[in-house]
Amino acid sequence: MSDTTTINKVSNGTAPVPSAPTSRPKLTILYGSQTGTAHDVAERLARDAKRRHFPVALSAMDDYDRSLLPTAQIAIFVCSTTGQGEEPDNMKQFWRFLLRKAHSPNVLSELEYTVFALGDSSYEKFNFPGKKLFKRLQQLGARPLFPKGEADDQHYLGVDGTLDPWLNGLWQVLMQRFPLPAHLGQIPDDELLPPKIRLVPVPDVANDDKQTSRSLVVDPTSLLPGSVLGHLVRNERMTHPSHFQDVRHLTIQLPPSTTYSPGDVASLMPANDPALVQSLLDLLAWSDQADTPITLHATDPDFALPPTLSASSSSSSPTTLRTLLTYHVHFATDEMQREKLVEFDTAAGLDDLLAYAHRPKRHCVEIIQDFFSIQNVPAAYVLDLFPAMVPRQYSIASYSDPNTQSHPSLDLCVAMVQFNTVLAAPRIGVCSRWLASLPACSLPNAPVPVAVRLARGTFTLPPLPATPIICIGPGTGIAPMVSLVQARIAAHASASTGAAPEAPLNHVFFGCRSRHSDHLFADMWARLEAQGHVVVYNAYSRDQEAKVYVQHVMLQQSVQVFDLIVNRGAWVYLSGNSNRMPIDVKDALTTIVQTGLKCARSEAVAYVDKMKKERRFQEETWA
């Protein structure tokens, strides 16, 4: 059987689901997702709705045609929390739209809605985007259909601990209001829904024409909407070879006239390991059709291809199954294996799922190898089973000088994610594996194009260049601090003779394990300090018997820090891991203020909180 015939055969999926009664309202499901969890919840909502014969429109909030919202009837919003209580990137435009003062207070009076928020209660602004969204929709006249749900990562059952009962209640309300006719029953959970897409072979391309298939390689920029095409010209290890962690200094040459601001972030779209992709193709028996050029066509008029696929799968730019494969799939015919997979997909089976898949970081190939009965997966289900690749965001560690835009570039400081688990094979992050494999080569011979999407970060500099700043960045949290300090030095140079100010305006607290193993950008900081542009305070946690972290060094320098903050109006920036570090740093700042002002603890807490509200204390942390 030819490749084309195989694709035609599998693209049809199962028999179509009976049409929904025309009286049933369409459910508009809109999500804001940073890492993919909220997207997964929205996908589950859409599947559940289809099993109950509701027509569904599913979209990221920023991809949704906002003019349709007043007539949407019923909308279900799913939104995660990112950073310090901020909305995810693909919700920002939608949120700004809702905040427009020009909206009348009854513009959404025909809309019924509910919101499911995802967050972590260990953060101060727990589920803020979902809470604000629920309130703003009501201010615009929308009517709550069902109470807001709030997932908490700290729940012992994770997201499902809140999601499962919330969904049960939501479907009870919807099914009572819009019951199915007697002849139409709910589609059972164990019955396969039709695929979202059809895979249509490209005509007039011979199946054995390997050169033609290779020529259909997708331009990386089409996989990352809004991106520019750069070239990697540096990929160097910053940490000592004996150090356990590989931290890379990457430099990407950008197209002329590309600009970015201090504190901005760069998104990179990684690629899966070719060997793992081939293993998955072999396990699913898709190898024979893996490189056949195809286009993707939605089977449901309300389903839109993800933005990362829409450009690369148009009729003028076909794609292949090999390019689409990303993550794992659960199909089984063996009854015992099937029961175990179903159990994994319930809240009661969460502990077993964590022990089996999440803690050892099993990838899809290993899962399919264990559940050997997984077979006969129709290729048309590739988008139903595999979540889209998510861009990885990194703080830019350089300053974009407008005077050198003929050869712009950006620097990144990226820690390679590699660790051991109970499995024999070491775990390596998808983006880490991809970045480590990229060769760096000077232009014009740079062989590997890199798609880069630039976006505003959370940091903003003081409006007055003479305002001191305090940068606290342990580990790779130092990256945005490089950008901020370099911009400040350039701004001072352009406003004066170029000499450093009498009293340094830039103060940097950096933390790492050892002076000799992982002191990132050490030479650069030493040079800038010798030139009088910056004062650097280092915390080496393992170079002495007692561990010393950035908060300890801040307390050692409490007189200087207090003078900068209280007497000179310094702005404070914090970047790094979101575990204990942000809490400990804030406690140290509060202690410094309390000691300096000789006030009660509550007054010092209020002072630091006021700094946050005034944007004099800004945080950018990650898990």
- 84 token code pair: 């310090």
Q: Please indicate if the annotation marks 548 as binding a ligand.
A: yes
Q: Which of 252, 251, 246, 302 is nearest to 68 (CA)?
A: 302
Q: Please indicate if the annotation marks 406 as binding a ligand.
A: no
Q: Please indicate if the annotation marks 429 as binding a ligand.
A: yes
Exposure letters 265-302 (e unless 16+ CB within 10 A, then b)? bbbbbbbbbeebbebbbebbebeebbbbbbbbeeebee
3-state secondary structure of 331: coil
Q: Please indicate if the annotation marks 532 as binding a ligand.
A: no
Q: 436 CB contacts (<8 Å, ≥6 apart)?
A: 246, 248, 416
Q: Please indicate if the annotation marks 299 as binding a ligand.
A: no
Q: Please indicate if the annotation marks 127 as binding a ligand.
A: yes
Asked if 305 and 203 count as a contact pair (C-beta separation under 8 A), the reply is no
3-state secondary structure of 573: strand
Q: Is 419 exposed, middle or buried (0-12, 13-18, 19+ CB in 10 A)?
A: exposed
Q: Are strands 143-144 and 149-152 parallel, antiparallel or unpaired?
A: unpaired
Q: Please indicate if the annotation marks 538 as binding a ligand.
A: no
In this structure, what are the phi and psi dihedrals at residue 49, rounded to the nearest 5 degrees?
A: -65, -40
Cα 25 from chain centre: 32
Helix 37-51 / helix 160-177 crossing angle, nearest 10 deg: 30
Q: Which of 129, 119, 140 is nearest to 66 (CA)?
A: 140
Asked if 290 and 320 count as a contact pair (C-beta separation under 8 A), the reply is yes
Q: Please indicate if the annotation marks 393 as binding a ligand.
A: yes
Q: Please indicate if the annotation marks 160 as binding a ligand.
A: no
Q: Provide the 10 A C-beta neighbour count for residue 33.
A: 23
Q: Is 236 exposed, middle or buried (0-12, 13-18, 19+ CB in 10 A)?
A: exposed
Q: Please indicate if the annotation marks 168 as binding a ligand.
A: no
Asked if 449 and 455 count as a contact pair (C-beta separation under 8 A), the reply is no
Q: Please indicate if the annotation marks 37 as binding a ligand.
A: yes
Q: Please indicate if the annotation marks 458 as binding a ligand.
A: no
Q: Please indicate if the annotation marks 120 as binding a ligand.
A: yes
Asked if 222 and 317 count as a contact pair (C-beta separation under 8 A), the reply is yes
Q: 317 CB contacts (<8 Å, ≥6 apart)?
A: 216, 218, 222, 311
Q: Please indicate if the annotation marks 82 as binding a ligand.
A: yes
332 vs 346: CA distance, rounded Å:
17
Q: Please indicate if the annotation marks 121 as binding a ligand.
A: yes
Express the helix, strand and coil content of the chain in percent, nearest 5 each. 35, 20, 45
- 499 token code pair: 């000499």
Q: Please indicate if the annotation marks 169 as binding a ligand.
A: no
Q: Please indicate if the annotation marks 342 as binding a ligand.
A: no
Q: Please indicate if the annotation marks 392 as binding a ligand.
A: yes
Q: What DSSP element (H or E) covers 574?
A: strand 571-577
Q: Please indicate if the annotation marks 125 as binding a ligand.
A: yes
Q: What DSSP element (H or E) covers 555?
A: helix 550-556
Q: Please indicate if the annotation marks 549 as binding a ligand.
A: yes
Longest C-alpha distance within the chain, in Å? 84
Q: Please indicate if the annotation marks 81 as binding a ligand.
A: yes
Q: Please indicate if the annotation marks 35 as binding a ligand.
A: yes
8 vs 2: CA distance, rounded Å:
10
Q: Please indicate if the annotation marks 395 as binding a ligand.
A: yes
Q: Please indicate if the annotation marks 536 as binding a ligand.
A: no
Cα 134 from chain centre: 23
Q: Please indicate if the annotation marks 211 as binding a ligand.
A: no
Q: Please indicate if the annotation marks 432 as binding a ligand.
A: yes
Q: Please indicate if the annotation marks 208 as binding a ligand.
A: no
Q: Please indicate if the annotation marks 365 as binding a ligand.
A: no
113 vs 85: CA distance, rounded Å:
22
Q: Please indicate if the annotation marks 319 as binding a ligand.
A: no
Residues in binding site for NADP(+):
476, 541-542, 547-551, 584
Residues in binding site:
33-38, 80-83, 118-127, 153, 392-395, 429-432, 476, 541-542, 547-551, 584, 622
Residues in binding site for FAD:
392-395, 429-432, 622
Residues in binding site for FMN:
33-38, 80-83, 118-127, 153
